[in-house]
Amino acid sequence: MRVLVIEDHQRLAKLIVEGLAGFGIGADTFPNAEDGLAATKSISYDALVLDLGLPDRDGLDVIQELRAKSIRTPILILTARGGIDERVEGLDRGADDYLPKPFAMKELAARLRALLRRPGGPLGTTIDIANLRPCLFGPFPVSFPSAKSTISP
């Protein structure tokens, strides 16, 4: 499991990376939207942890841009903004969850695990080869035919 953390507060970003590592979650961190978005083009992350108050762009616009490109990576908003309206706007623009600052690292880890357990997520994917039942692989439902394989000599 690898997550992308876009957070301009360097000390907090470092704490998040170290904290998530303690829960077995690898994380890369970038201090601005431009570098973070560039990283999503080369690496397929399992989830994105996004600060809303970034130096170059508003995090809400980052969410909108990713969703407009049909990038469905789960996004968890980290925000010091207390207003319910902004949290709602973030969710409406395509974020999957939010966590207000300050937060407990174990809650961030638990929320990320919950996002990844969703159908299509890396922890929610069912691949059952033994009885060839329908399963989810990534965002696409895959149905296997109920056929028997015969191996002839």
Distance CA 117, CA 112 (A): 9
Closest CA to 8 of 70, 57, 75: 57
Where does this chain touch Ca ion (CB under 5 A) — which range of 3-11, 25-33, 101-109, 130-138?
3-11
**53 part of the interface to Ca ion, by CB under 5 A:** yes
Cα distance between residue 108 and residue 98, in whole Å: 9
Asked if residue 120 binds Ca ion (CB under 5 A), the reply is no
Calpha distance 112→25 (Å, rounded): 9
Contact with Ca ion (CB under 5 A) among 1, 2, 8, 73:
8
How many residues bind Ca ion (CB under 5 A)? The answer is 3
Question: 95, exposed or middle or buried, with CB in 10 Å at 0-12, 13-18, 19+?
Answer: buried
Q: Judged by CB under 5 A, does residue 51 bind Ca ion?
A: yes
> How far is Cα 15 from Cα 31, in angstroms, rounded to an integer?
13
Is the Cβ of residue 58 or residue 92 nearer to Ca ion in the bound state? 58
Stretch that binds Ca ion, among 15-23, 52-60, 87-95, 107-115 (CB under 5 A): 52-60
Question: Toward Ca ion, which CB reaches closer, 103 or 125?
Answer: 103
Task: Using CB under 5 A, list all residues that contact Ca ion.
Answer: 8, 51, 53
